[in-house]
Structure 1
Amino acid sequence: MTQEQRAAARSMISKGDLGRTPDQQRDDFNVLFADLPLGDDVTLSPRTLGGVPALDVQVEGADGDAVILYLHGGGYVIGSARTGANLAAPLSRRTGLPAVSLDYRLAPENPFPAAVDDALAAYKDLLGSGRQIVIAGDSAGGGLALATMLAARRDGLPLPAAAAIFSPWTDLTLSGASLNDRGDFDPLFSREHIAAYAEHYLAGHDPRDELTSPLLADLTGLPPLLIQVGSAEVLLDDSLQLAVRAAEQEVDVSLDVVAGAPHVYQLMVGVMDEADEALDRAARFLALQVAGGGVA
């Protein structure tokens, strides 16, 4: 990443004011991300999965036997299937696999476990298709990807072939030292921003629940994981500690850390070389795991 790219990337984002309502945050987020061009080769089609609204992300030529279930970020409070399509589409294009981006319910109107229930219902529906599944997600969607797999394991369901998660939020107890140490370096979030999202989502629920904080779960038996994160993040430790715990519990795990990159830097395709390179690596990882047959 050149200094010019680094400056351009950081200039695109800034810390939002604390105290804004969820509706205000959603409006601001949609202005930035709900209308980003996806490419002339992409068609979005509404559908439902397990009763949950979703978007089929149809990229010309992507017709593999497996499917990508994409879970968008936004602190469980903002974001949508459409904002998730910004990363589902390039993953689909690079893997040749069709993708679906889920519109799971958001807090504070629908706190935990609504998002997990929706993601699990969608996953069960996809299982019925007989196709292999890979899961991908960013930020809260990365944590939700892990929670979905943990819930599937709990229910005795087949697990996906793999998961690729970008800057995942995995610890709602907010124990990571980076929440304090990286606050001045992170152009997007402070500890206070993350704490506000956690309060909305938890609504008094125990943050140590493995489905809210997958970092604290027994990860044994989960499929191969790819974790990508930037160093300019208050959530850096959520990824670093997850990689360590996964390795200790005999889960195949790969960790990519990009120096100076902000939260979910993969969204900056065309601005940061590392964003394109990260998605290339994620696509190779997912395609390789699909070819290998995944986890039973």
Structure 2
Amino acid sequence: MSREQRAALDARLRQPQPEAPGSLEAMRAGFRAMMAEMIVPSGIRTRTVDELGSRPALLVEPASSDRRTGTILYFHGGSFVVGSPETALSLTGNLVVRTGFRAYSLDYRLAPEHPFPAAIEDAVSAYRALLNDGVAPSTIAFAGDSAGGGLTTTTCLAAREAGLPMPAAIVAFSPGLDVTRTGESMDAKEGIDPFFTRESLERTSALYLAGQDPRHPLLSPAVLADLTAFPPTLLQVGTNEVLLDDSTRLAARARAAGVDVVLDVTADVPHVFQAYAGVLDEADQALDRAALFLTQHVQWASE
């Protein structure tokens, strides 16, 4: 563990920023610029798939011909308002390199143009498309970060309701799992979290909710969802996050429902710290643990 790296990253994230962009397109451009600074690993190849269910996706594969048959269905972060498969490429690329699996990173619809439950509908449609193509659920894992980390859980809930089989595993990086914002960390980590405040989260949540009651299992699964028969789940989160208790409370619900769950908490790191692989030792180590979890739970064979 490197205290120096963690301190340097925290200081960098706390540097004075330009005034928050007002327009939606400025928000999206700013997020693209921030994520473009992340290191994308070598050893991958990418191409766009025009239709995975109802939406396009970015297919990320190992560059070598020696790959495993597992499939990661990945959901990018961005508060359901910003982001794309390209902004998450450092994360999907690192999972692909470390597991040998392919990943489909879904370009799900964004709010406010397409509010709740559009993203969940797109995710279920993509999962159904993989199943219809003959991909066995035992070879599929859901993974995602931030809002996309929350989608790993809500997509499982919606898929179960639709009568679809569960995937083999879930991996969620700093997931957003409670739009009611009732976790103690929302206030306890105020000022410690370099990215989010209650106010900033409520602004973007309002765009996604579009007037819907946040007390809904598909919006706040950490406090409302029935997780019975869920697949093995890995939740990775940092102690500096206002969203910390989203993960701790979902882990408790999962344990109570008899789910195999690993709550992996790293000290003094920010939201989706795994994106800083190559800069922060803890990011690389967390990705190694996530890859091990996936290879332990996803059925695979070398091609």
TM-score (norm 2): 0.92
Paired residue for 1:3?
3
Q: Give secondary structure in 1 for the equivalent of 2:217.
A: coil
1:291 aligns with 2:299: yes
Q: Distance in 2 between matches of 1:235 and 1:18?
A: 21
Worse-superposed segment, 44-53 or 28-37: 28-37
Q: Give secondary structure in 2 for the equivalent of 1:254.
A: strand
Q: Give secondary structure in 1 for the equivalent of 2:253.
A: helix
Letter in 1 for 2:146: S
- Cα deviation, 1:273-296, whole Å, max 9, x if unaligned, reads 110010000000011001399xxx
Q: Distance in 2 between matches of 1:2 and 1:40?
A: 24
1:57 aligns with 2:57: no
Q: Give secondary structure in 2 for the equivalent of 1:291.
A: coil
Q: Which one of 270, 292, 300 corresponds to residue 262 of structure 1?
A: 270
Letter in 2 for 1:143: G
Letter in 1 for 2:154: A
| Cα distance change, pair 247–276 in 1 and its aligned pair in 2 (3 A) | same
Q: Which runs of 5+ in 2 are unaligned?
A: none
Q: Distance in 1 between matches of 2:196 and 2:209?
A: 19
| Cα distance change, pair 292–53 in 1 and its aligned pair in 2 (3 A) | closer
Paired residue for 1:138?
145
- Cα deviation, 1:110-151, whole Å, max 9, x if unaligned, reads 100110011111111111233321010001001111110001
Paired residue for 1:31?
33
Q: Distance in 2 between matches of 1:203 and 1:213?
A: 15
Paired residue for 2:99?
95
Worse-superposed segment, 47-56 or 284-293: 284-293
Tell me how far 1:18 sits from its aligned partner. 5.3
1:22 aligns with 2:24: yes
Q: Which one of 212, 225, 228 corresponds to residue 220 of structure 1?
A: 228
Q: Distance in 2 between matches of 1:127 and 1:64?
A: 18
Q: Distance in 2 between matches of 1:2 and 1:41?
A: 26
Worse-superposed segment, 130-139 or 232-241: 130-139
Paired residue for 2:217?
210
1:147 aligns with 2:154: yes
Identity between Structure 1 and Structure 2 (%): 49
Q: Which one of 201, 204, 208 corresponds to residue 194 of structure 1?
A: 201
Q: Distance in 1 between matches of 2:210 and 2:132?
A: 33
Aligned residues: 293
Paired residue for 1:42?
44
Q: Distance in 2 between matches of 1:176 and 1:281?
A: 26
Q: Which one of 234, 243, 258 corresponds to residue 242 of structure 2?
A: 234
Q: Distance in 1 between matches of 2:88 and 2:105?
A: 6
Tell me how far 1:37 sits from its aligned partner. 4.5
Paired residue for 1:162?
169
CA contact (8 A) 1:127 1:133 kept: no
Q: Distance in 2 between matches of 1:110 and 1:76?
A: 9
Tell me how far 1:19 sits from its aligned partner. 6.7
Letter in 1 for 2:202: A
Q: Give secondary structure in 2 for the equivalent of 1:170.
A: coil
Tell me how far 1:227 sits from its aligned partner. 0.3
Q: Distance in 2 between matches of 1:11 and 1:28?
A: 19
Letter in 2 for 1:42: I
What RMSD, in angstroms, separates the aligned Cα atoms of the two structures? 1.8
Tell me how far 1:41 sits from its aligned partner. 2.0
Structure 1 outlier segments of 4+, above 4 Å: 14-19
Letter in 2 for 1:56: L
Q: Distance in 1 between matches of 2:36 and 2:176?
A: 21
CA contact (8 A) 2:69 2:300 kept: no
Q: Give secondary structure in 1 for the equivalent of 2:183.
A: coil
